[in-house]
């Protein structure tokens, strides 16, 4: 595997709407990001991925773009963006944007031109079909519920949208569409962004012609996944895109790739892959049910361990994954991967240690460094996210009571991660002077950056230590490149692995339970590098792990 400049780095995702509001409208903005660059630099991150802030009706919080070349006024101006790039550069921080090109917004100029003349050139920018014998072109269900087809007003024609109906899919089969997209990507790269996180990219290749698959719910529709399994040739598009954009700019890219076929992995992220890296979603997708969120199987620590090790095995010798415990589409990692009732600062730190010691590029999601938790929504009216609203309805249709449905979707709601950043114990957690667009988690009085920065044993400081450890020249090479080798894999509630580097072996052991346990090594422990406990009992080759203790050792 070729070494790359970003392998030893740490990345951080900003969800701008919820990060920091500087003008009191209750919506985070680019100036808020500029204001907090020192906070991020001080934490130790290097790469900052910012979720979309382009012009957008915000039907899907900016993942519905109406102008790729401009900033939505709610987030700021192009002058703010230029300043952000300049300020980031001063601090040696790389800015990575969100590339959303499976679809645009129905308010984008291309779609508006299509509406004016569906048979004209812009009709070919989208997937436009007519009904056959009064039947939609196919029975796929949109990710946000309902059929993927929406009627074009005043016609018998329909356009395709695999996400919200305000997110029409772009027709990648049309070379003109691809050229327009590449031009836009190069425009941003020339402006100085380091690269992109690439949204929902697997969906750009459709299995054509459109056809039905067996229905998987009483609505008579089927998940888009059946089609994606059959679709061939996504990599041809992706390599073409890389050749025209990322490769000549030496850009950093991280793909949001679900459902890749194992044999395609090298093509995605191998030495000549179309992307630098892609997210490991193995833990995030665990327990999914075709019926919907209400029917999901919660993940246990043993499942989590298996998910991580499975990904590590499949990637060995191929490339470098991007590791996460949460993002803007997922519940908070600490609320998901730590068994209910056991979520404390200690267990949060343990989870952090595991994440950082896996092989790959760690991505933090804003607030993760504070151990921010899920929000207990008290009513569905508090929910903003389109996906959660749909899943609530799915649960209701399956016969769950309003209370049960709320409880079921609460655990997986994307809004859990989207609540405003908890900066301080002041009003609205210091996020805004105005009324926040989404409810602030009331636990901000307890969990906030100001308090944690002033307390050396906080979750925040533990993350800071982990980041520093990854960059400490004594261990960096092993942490970044060392082979990962699971150990005691079948032991219940224990997740442990070696990282084997050149002449150095580290052991990471995490005790996912309240009961202490002893682990006995076949070699003496040379050094305790980091732990989430102040004191660690080591007797010869035996180490006592306390409840939810993580220990990083050199052996
Ligand atoms: O997500 C794509 C995706 O396939 C899912 O994670 C999806 O959001 C989830 O199943 C719905 O609950 C990306 C973005 O990360 C997400 O925020 C956008 O909504 C989506 O694309 C559409 O752009
Ligand atoms: Ca604002």
Domain contains 91: no
Residue among 72, 199, 280, 390 flagged as catalytic = 199
Q: Report how far ligand 2's centroid is from the alpha carbon of 76 (Å).
A: 8
Domain contains 423: no
Residue 492: which domain range? 481-554
Q: Which residue has the tokens 């982990």?
A: 466
Q: Which of 56, 143, 201, 408 to mutate to test the pocket of ligand 1 (most atoms within 8 A of CB)?
A: 143
**Residues facing 554 on adjacent strands:** 506, 527
425-463 burial code (b ≥16 CB/10 A, e <16): eeebbbbbeeebbbbbbebbeebbbebbbeeeebbbbbb
Q: Which of 141, 163, 363 to mutate to test the pocket of ligand 1 (most atoms within 8 A of CB)?
A: 163
Among all bound ligands, the one having the nearest atom to the CA of 26 is 2
pTM above 0.95, yes or no: yes
pLDDT at 169: 99
Domain contains 287: no
CB distance 529 to 555 below 8 Å: no
Known catalytic residue at 82: no
Domain contains 265: no
CATH code assigned at 538: 2.60.40.1180
Ligand 1 cavity residues, CB under 6 Å: 60, 63, 100, 143, 163, 199-200, 256, 258, 328-329, 387, 414
Domain contains 542: yes
- Tens-place pLDDT, residues 491-518: 999 999 999 999 999 999 999 999 999 9
Strands 47-50 and 361-365: unpaired
Q: Which of 49, 61, 63 to mutate to test the pocket of ligand 1 (most atoms within 8 A of CB)?
A: 63
Known catalytic residue at 199: yes
Give, using CA atoms, the residue closest to atom 8 of ligand 1: 329
Domain contains 127: no
CB distance 27 to 438 below 8 Å: no
Give the residue ranges of the chain where pLDDT is below 50.
none
Atom of ligand 1 nearest to the CA of 102: 23
pLDDT at 133: 87
CB distance 369 to 458 below 8 Å: no
Domain contains 547: yes
CB distance 169 to 203 below 8 Å: yes
**Count of other CB atoms within 10 angstroms of residue 339:** 16
Give, using CA atoms, the residue closest to atom 9 of ligand 1: 329
Enumerate the H helices of 167-224 as residue ranges. 175-191
Give, using CA atoms, the residue closest to atom 4 of ligand 1: 200
Give the C-alpha separation, 328 to 227, whole Å. Answer: 26
141-150 burial code (b ≥16 CB/10 A, e <16): bbbbbebbbb
Give 252-265 as a DSSP string. EEEE---S--GGGH
pLDDT at 236: 98
How many distinct structural domains can be found in the chain?
1
CB distance 99 to 196 below 8 Å: yes
Among all bound ligands, the one having the nearest atom to the CA of 412 is 1
All residues with CB under 5 Å from ion ligand 2: 21, 23, 25, 27, 29
pLDDT at 290: 94
Domain contains 525: yes
pLDDT at 523: 86
Among all bound ligands, the one having the nearest atom to the CA of 418 is 1
């Amino acid at each position: 595997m070729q070494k790359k400049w970003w392998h030893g780095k740490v990345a951080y995702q900003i969800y701008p709407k919820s990060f920091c509001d500087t003008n009191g409208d209750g919506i985070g903005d680019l100036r808020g990001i500029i204001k907090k660059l020192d906070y991020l630099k001080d934490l130790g991150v290097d790469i900052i991925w910012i979720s979309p802030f382009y012009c957008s009706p915000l039907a899907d919080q900016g993942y519905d773009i109406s102008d790729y070349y401009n900033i939505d006024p709610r987030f700021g101006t192009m002058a703010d963006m230029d300043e952000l790039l300049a300020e980031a550069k001063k601090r040696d921080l790389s800015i990575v944007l969100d590339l959303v090109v499976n679809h645009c917004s129905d308010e984008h100029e291309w779609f508006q031109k299509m509406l004016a003349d569906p048979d004209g050139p812009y009709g070919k920018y989208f997937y436009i079909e007519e009904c056959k014998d009064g039947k939609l072109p196919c029975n796929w269900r949109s990710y946000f519920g309902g059929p993927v087809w929406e009627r074009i007003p005043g016609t018998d024609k329909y356009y395709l949208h695999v996400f919200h109906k305000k997110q029409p899919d772009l027709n990648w089969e049309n070379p003109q569409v691809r050229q327009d997209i590449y031009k836009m990507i190069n425009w941003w790269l020339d402006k100085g962004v380091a690269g992109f996180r690439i949204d929902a990219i697997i969906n750009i290749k459709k299995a054509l012609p459109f056809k039905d698959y067996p229905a998987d719910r009483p609505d008579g529709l089927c998940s888009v996944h059946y089609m994606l399994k059959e679709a061939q040739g996504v990599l041809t598009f992706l390599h073409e895109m890389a050749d025209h954009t990322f490769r000549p700019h030496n850009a950093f890219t991280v793909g949001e790739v679900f459902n890749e076929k194992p044999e395609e992995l090298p093509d995605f992220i191998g030495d000549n892959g179309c992307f630098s890296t892609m997210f490991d979603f193995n833990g995030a997708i665990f327990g999914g049910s075709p019926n919907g969120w209400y029917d999901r199987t919660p993940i246990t620590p043993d499942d989590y361990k298996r998910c991580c090790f499975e990904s590590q095995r499949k990637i060995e010798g191929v490339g470098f994954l991007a590791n996460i415990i949460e993002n803007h589409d997922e519940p908070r990692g600490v609320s998901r991967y730590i068994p209910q009732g056991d979520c404390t600062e200690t267990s949060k730190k343990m989870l952090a240690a595991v994440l950082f010691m896996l092989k790959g590029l760690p991505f933090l999601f804003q607030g993760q460094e504070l151990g921010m938790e899920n929000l207990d929504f008290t009513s569905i009216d508090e929910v903003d996210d389109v996906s959660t609203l749909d899943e609530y309805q799915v649960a209701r249709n399956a016969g769950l009571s309003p209370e049960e449905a709320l409880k079921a979707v609460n655990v997986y709601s994307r809004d859990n991660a989207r609540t405003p950043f908890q900066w301080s114990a002041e009003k609205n957690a210091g996020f805004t002077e105005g009324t926040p667009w989404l409810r602030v988690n009331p636990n901000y009085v307890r969990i906030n950056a100001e308090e944690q920065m002033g307390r050396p044993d906080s979750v925040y400081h533990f993350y800071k230590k982990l980041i520093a450890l990854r960059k400490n020249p004594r261990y960096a090479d092993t942490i970044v490149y060392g082979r990962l080798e699971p150990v005691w894999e079948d032991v219940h509630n224990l997740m442990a692995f070696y990282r084997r580097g050149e002449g150095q072996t580290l052991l990471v052991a995490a005790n996912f339970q309240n009961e202490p346990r002893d682990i006995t090594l076949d070699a003496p422990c040379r050094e305790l590098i980091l732990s989430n406990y102040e004191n660690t009992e080591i007797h010869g080759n035996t180490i006592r792990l306390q409840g939810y203790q993580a220990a990083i050792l050199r052996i």
